[in-house]
Amino acid sequence: MTDATADAAEEVKKPSKMPLILGLVAALVGGGGGFYATFSGMILGSESPEAVVEDMSGPLPDVAFVPVDPIIVSLGSPAAGRHLQFRAQLEVPTRHAEDVQVLLPRVVDVLNGYLRALEPRDVESASALTRLRAQMLRRVQIVAGADRVRDLLIMEFVVN
């Protein structure tokens, strides 16, 4: 090598890593500050827990709960031996509690039919219970009337 090429090779320097380090530090500080601001309620204006408790101290809503008879169904093929044990209550306005109680045999029938059609894969995902609950509530509301049943509360959902 000539002296000119050796001097040129020595002059080439690696780029500085200081901007990368400063950018990383700024991102961490910004992320931490954003988390704190959101968590503490400074952003998105969440109310203090005391205010929420005060709002809940009023009179209870006009609601009654009608228990649904427990249902046990087999999942998949009978040879698999897997069963679903299900128990629920229906949230209804107090004035409709007796009407819904009279319709309970139809409610149990529609729930039994729906649960028997389930496959094991239908109950294994993390979001399965929410999806199944919505499906069952819709079926119950069709049988009893949407204005008579507000919600379906799952008390027991055991797969064994």
Mean per-residue pLDDT, 69-76: 90
Give just the sign of the alpha carbon dihedral 125, 123, 149, 91: negative
* C-alpha of 34 from chain center: 25
The pLDDT assigned to 42 comes to 75
- Report how far residue 49's alpha carbon sits from residue 88's, in angstroms, rounded to the nearest whole number: 30
Please name which of 105, 148, 111, 101 lies closest in space to residue 133, comparing C-alpha atoms: 111
Please name which of 130, 126, 123, 134 lies closest in space to residue 158, comparing C-alpha atoms: 123
68 neighbors 104 (Cβ within 8 angstroms): yes
Q: Is it the case that residue 9 has pLDDT exceeding 80?
A: no
| The Cα angle at residue 99 between residues 66 and 111, in degrees rounded to 5 | 55
Q: Is it the case that residue 74 has pLDDT exceeding 60?
A: yes
Lowest mean pLDDT, pick from 41-45, 91-95, 141-145, 147-151: 41-45
Q: Which whole-number Å values give the CA distances from 102 to 24, 44, 142, 143, in the listed order?
A: 66, 46, 15, 12
Top-confidence residue, 36 or 140: 140
**Token pair listed for 77:** 């093929």
Please name which of 90, 94, 95, 72 lies closest in space to residue 143, comparing C-alpha atoms: 90
The pLDDT assigned to 14 comes to 80
pLDDT tens, residue by residue, 81-126: 889 999 999 999 999 999 999 999 999 999 999 999 988 888 888 8
Beta bridge partners of 157: 86
Mean per-residue pLDDT, 59-70: 92
The pLDDT assigned to 156 comes to 95
The pLDDT assigned to 100 comes to 95
The pLDDT assigned to 34 comes to 84
The pLDDT assigned to 102 comes to 95
Mean pLDDT, rounded, of the chain: 85
